[in-house]
A and B are shown apart, each in its own frame.
Chain A
């Protein structure tokens, strides 16, 4: 049965798949993860701030994004952001927002909701006495967060943050709805051009699996290495 398959389509399209497709996927994953962790940390701090209103804003943000399907948000941003930009800048016509920018903004905002929950758990897991000790030494909230609390949180939570990033890596394939050439998009274009759907989708699955599996193993190794001695 395999005789009917032509796997040479894979080798001939490798440069396109990796230099175009995978490069986009990895760039989007890395930037969205960094942005999402930064924004998520801020949201987690807002949520735990104990100030009036602000925790509610953070909570609403998280609940909103966690209740929406990612594909819907991707669509929504892609078609809405140009008009939002027009409204904000008061321009005559909708702002031109590239597919990459649009998807980067979408993933950053969306993932921030998930990262913020990880960071919130991380901050809450640091004993209250640590913040008290930092305060007692005269540190302001921001100094103690930056030098005492968050470094410990990042060290404790890095494995979970990376695991979430692996999930993000898989989720970026959803940009296919915008006809973007990410790795899956590239594979799918080749598949349809050459009529080699089974081969290409099989190959794409193998690549996604290999990347995620290796990354998970690496995370596990890292976890052993960076644990704080208590």
Chain B
């Protein structure tokens, strides 16, 4: 058994919402991408968001740390309202870890520098301490041998594991995953999911946009199904994979599960 990935705190008992979304709506010009989305993610909970492409899953998850602005509704992260002029967004984002579909490691910096940059620049840690925590996390995603390499020298799966470590190095209170395995070659999906499963089991609060239903079955508490910018289903994992639900979700599941 590996040492824990989540260094921020002991596994939080699932109480109180970490993320609370109420009636979030968003438009790109006249086009409505999100319609009255209401859901919540409790502390220690793992919520998987799925749905056909263009359904607004990525947009929804990016509303949590205000990478995408939204025009109506409210998102409250650990008591902090996101759509509030007085909210210090950089400060909020520093506490919300995010992993992107295309990794987005900084290509001009070594892996070690990727892990330490934000710790030093944002959290004000000194370089030594930042490097220590960075290297600890790198070791836990199984890549400590690669600290001096540059992102371009790593495989996609390795880069994504570094990206997870980079987000964790900020000791986030919640982790957002935006299709973390969609840009990976099939043989690398497993190594990234393994890290995510470990993280989930340690009690990290997670919101994951993903098509990996195996991952959802294994660790999710709840599954949200989106279509055309609306939350169509918001059910416990067993309900979602088990019995009756909306036709659209059934349709979607039959398409992605038959292979």
Listed in ascending order, the chain A residues whose CB lies under 8 Å from chain B are 127, 129-130, 132-140, 143, 147-148, 151-152, 155, 228-230
| Known contacts A130-B106, A155-B108, A229-B150; A137/B166 CB under 8 A | yes
The SS class assigned to the A binding surface is helix
Chain A residues, Cβ within 8 Å of B108: 151-152, 155, 228
Please state if B104 and A129 are interface contacts (CB–CB under 8 Å).
yes
Please state if A137 and B94 are interface contacts (CB–CB under 8 Å).
yes
Q: How far is the CA of A52 from the CA of B106 in the complex (A)?
A: 30
- Nearest B residue to A156 by beta-carbon distance? B108
Chain B residues, Cβ within 8 Å of A148: 106, 117
Q: How far is the CA of A39 from the CA of B151 in the complex (A)?
A: 31
- Nearest B residue to A152 by beta-carbon distance? B108
The listed residue (B98, B100, B104, B152) touching A228 by CB distance below 8 A is B152
Sort A-B residue pairs by CB-CB distance and give the 9 closest, nearest first: A138-B94, A229-B152, A133-B104, A137-B118, A136-B98, A138-B122, A129-B104, A138-B93, A230-B152
Please state if A137 and B122 are interface contacts (CB–CB under 8 Å).
yes
Listed in ascending order, the chain B residues whose CB lies under 8 Å from chain A are 65, 67, 90-98, 100, 102, 104-108, 117-118, 121-123, 150, 152-153, 166-167, 170
A-B pairs with beta carbons under 8 Å apart, 5 shown: A136-B100, A137-B167, A138-B90, A138-B92, A229-B107
Please state if B153 and A229 are interface contacts (CB–CB under 8 Å).
yes
Tell me, rounded to whole Å, the shortest Cβ–Cβ distance linking A10 to chain B. 46
Chain B residues, Cβ within 8 Å of A140: 90
Q: How far is the CA of A137 from the CA of B69 in the complex (A)?
A: 17
Please state if A139 and B90 are interface contacts (CB–CB under 8 Å).
yes
Chain A residues, Cβ within 8 Å of B96: 136
Chain A residues, Cβ within 8 Å of B95: 138
Chain A residues, Cβ within 8 Å of B107: 152, 228-230
Please state if A132 and B106 are interface contacts (CB–CB under 8 Å).
no
Chain A residues, Cβ within 8 Å of B152: 228-230
Q: How far is the CA of A140 from the CA of B122 in the complex (A)?
A: 8
Chain A residues, Cβ within 8 Å of B102: 127, 129
Chain A residues, Cβ within 8 Å of B94: 137-138
Tell me, rounded to whole Å, the shortest Cβ–Cβ distance linking B169 to chain A. 9
Chain B residues, Cβ within 8 Å of A132: 67, 100, 104
Please state if A130 and B90 are interface contacts (CB–CB under 8 Å).
no
Chain B residues, Cβ within 8 Å of A152: 106-108
Please state if B122 and A143 are interface contacts (CB–CB under 8 Å).
yes
Chain A residues, Cβ within 8 Å of B118: 134, 137-139
Q: How far is the CA of A155 from the CA of B108 in the complex (A)?
A: 9
Please state if B170 and A135 are interface contacts (CB–CB under 8 Å).
no
- Nearest A residue to B96 by beta-carbon distance? A136
Chain B residues, Cβ within 8 Å of A155: 108
Tell me, rounded to whole Å, the shortest Cβ–Cβ distance linking A224 to chain B. 16
Q: How far is the CA of A130 from the CA of B122 in the complex (A)?
A: 16
Please state if B93 and A133 are interface contacts (CB–CB under 8 Å).
no
- Nearest A residue to B153 by beta-carbon distance? A229
> Chain A CB within 10 Å — which of B117, B150, B153, B167 has the most?
B117
Please state if B91 and A138 are interface contacts (CB–CB under 8 Å).
yes
Please state if A135 and B93 are interface contacts (CB–CB under 8 Å).
yes
Tell me, rounded to whole Å, the shortest Cβ–Cβ distance linking A174 to chain B. 37
> Chain A CB within 10 Å — which of B92, B100, B102, B118 has the most?
B118
Please state if B104 and A130 are interface contacts (CB–CB under 8 Å).
yes
Chain B residues, Cβ within 8 Å of A129: 100, 102, 104
Please state if B121 and A147 are interface contacts (CB–CB under 8 Å).
yes
The listed residue (A139, A228, A229, A230) touching B122 by CB distance below 8 A is A139
The listed residue (B104, B105, B106, B170) touching A138 by CB distance below 8 A is B170
Q: How far is the CA of A147 from the CA of B123 in the complex (A)?
A: 15
Tell me, rounded to whole Å, the shortest Cβ–Cβ distance linking B57 to chain A. 16
List 18 other contacts, CB 8 Å, given A137-B122, A137-B166: A129-B100, A130-B104, A136-B65, A136-B67, A136-B98, A136-B100, A136-B167, A137-B170, A139-B90, A139-B118, A143-B121, A147-B117, A148-B106, A152-B106, A228-B108, A229-B152, A230-B107, A230-B152
